[in-house]
Structure 1
Amino acid sequence: MSARFIEGSDFVPAPLKPTVSFDVVDQVDVRVGTIRAVEEVPGSKKLMRLRVGFGDHERVILSGMRGEREDPQEIVGQQALFVVNLEPRKMAGELSEGMLFDLGSPDRLLPALAQPERPIPDGTRVG
């Protein structure tokens, strides 16, 4: 792994973000999806294309996880949490239809997927 990651024992939490109302949090649609495929995005040094199943549909979600895992294929078949009601965003010429909750990388820790504790149906809402 890259030298940019620190050991967990050296971790100091970042300051908390400003308080938001429950109504703001309630607007965010977080759902469980299964990662079906992981591919490099051509021309990008950071982005990986995830194909994610949500039960009744599949989406492409781009994530800046390239280089954060020795083998990005290790997350194929895993369930994770995703924000699914973000406006689609074009990155590196491709459209991303959501956001993966990938823990740790903003704090320079080895990343970990935010996952349900046991398999549950794809498309299940968080709340």
Structure 2
Amino acid sequence: MHLAHDPAARPAAQISFDQFLTVDIRVGTIVAVEPFPEARKPAFKLTIDFGAGIGTKRSSAQLTQNYEADSLVGRQVAGVVNFPPRQIGKFMSEVLTLGFPDDGGNVVLFSPDKKVPNGARLF
């Protein structure tokens, strides 16, 4: 099991608050979901609206175990928006969509429990 999925794993090394502030985590709304059959592990291609300041970004997410594509459209999610784009096969992922592992190690999305404005920053 990967350490990130092990609930008993030790916490990561301490960082300063200023280091934390360099990670830009924003909320956005999923506006489109496409299959990603060429991915090594089953995944979806997400289009996420992060509001006027950031705009619409794309992300690859391994969500197929816990979510149907249709159930994702309109859902708010959290994502890291200031990582450099990452090439995944022929797809360019522009943000890291955040989630936690369930008991089987499958992704459960991290999202606010109430609607907030797209582009709102985690603090």
Is 2:28 aligned against 1:33?
Answer: yes
Equivalent position to 1:119, from 112, 115, 118: 115
| TM superposition score normalised by structure 2 | 0.81
1:63 aligned residue: 61
Q: Deviations over 1:36-93 (max 9, x none)?
A: 111112412333110000112111111122x322523312111011100000110011
RMSD: 2.0
Q: Structure 2 unaligned segments of length 5 or more: list them.
A: 1-5
CA shift in 2, pair 1:17/1:84, >3 Å: same
| TM superposition score normalised by structure 1 | 0.79
Q: Structure 1 unaligned segments of length 5 or more: list them.
A: 1-10
Deviation at 1:110, TM superposition (A): 5.0
2:83 aligned residue: 86
